[in-house]
A and B are shown apart, each in its own frame.
Chain A
Amino acid sequence: MENLIFILTASAAGTLSYHISNKFKKGPVFGSSIITLLAGIVLPLLFPETGGKLAAAAACASYAGMAATKLIPTTFEMAFISALSGIMLLIASNAYVGVGGRLGTIAALACLAWMGIRRGFKESDNICMDKLEITKIGVWE
């Protein structure tokens, strides 16, 4: 349950950051920093035990939310990337602790992972379409 809240927090924070940055045209730095600041203040007050971890998840996802619409065009994709960054942060919770930029690196990896998945889906669709065309020609002949 705790992990689910962690991932949902990340997903919400990344999506909000993306919206403020791109849809409200406030720029990526403002979009991410306002979410990071609010998460850093509000979440430890709301959840005294897990607030620090949740704020880290929100900050990590908000860095992913700085992505440009040219590369990540839809809110759904950003929600998925943010959730993915939360999962990756859970998995890598003991890696490079205390190194500045760790959360941003996880955010970048989540973005790149999603772009790889998306490309894989597109290419598999193309292969399916090719097979379909061959089958159609076969039936026609």
Chain B
Amino acid sequence: MILDRKKMLVVVCATSAATLTYFLNHNLGLGAIVANGLVGLTAAMLLPASLAGVAYTASFVGMSSAAILPSVHWASIGGAVLSLVVLSTTEVYAGIGGKGGTTAALSTLITKAFIGFLS
């Protein structure tokens, strides 16, 4: 996979959204649902539709509990993993509600496997 400018933007948006959601959720104590809503709404208003979708999907990763992703750094890595999954599966199940959540769950579990492998 060659990383052009568009794909780099996807990676940056996903990493930022997951990190921000995790920070709002755990560090500021807003809770997963409010954090996800805030990040999604901001992305929908500021970003073009395709990037907003990626950012909202990545924010699902940031909804993970501290038992699954222990720190904000791991949330960032989760966001980066998600961007790679999104770039590889753009056409799969397009238009089905919840596709983003499924992608996020897969990315979270991959990241959790990394954490388990390293510890």
Contacts and interface: CB of A to CB of B under 8 A. Distances in A.
Interface string A78-113: 000100010000000000111111111111111110
Contacts of A35: 37
Contact of B33 (A30, A55, A71, A108): A55
Given A30-B45, A68-B95, A36 B33 contact: yes
Interface string B85-100: 0000000011111111
Among B33, B61, B62, B63, chain A packs the most CB atoms within 10 A around the CB of B33
A4 interface: no
A29 B109 CA distance: 23
A100 B64 contact: yes
Interface string A28-40: 1110111111111
Contact of B49 (A29, A55, A59, A99): A29
B89 to A, nearest CB: 13
A100 B69 contact: yes
Contact of A99 (B33, B41, B96, B108): B108
A97 B64 CA distance: 9
Contacts of A34: 37, 41
Interface residues of B, number: 46
B99 to A, nearest CB: 6
A68 B96 CA distance: 7
A8 interface: no
Q: Is the interface of A mostly helix, strand, loop or mixed?
A: helix
A101 B106 contact: yes
Given A36-B36, A36-B37, A100 B98 contact: no
Contact of B105 (A29, A30, A59, A105): A105
B56 A33 contact: yes
A6 interface: no
Contacts of A27: 44, 49, 52
Given A98-B67, A100-B78, A29 B56 contact: yes
Interface in A9-40: 26-30, 32-40
Interface of A: 26-30, 32-41, 52, 55-56, 59, 63-68, 70-72, 81, 85, 96-112
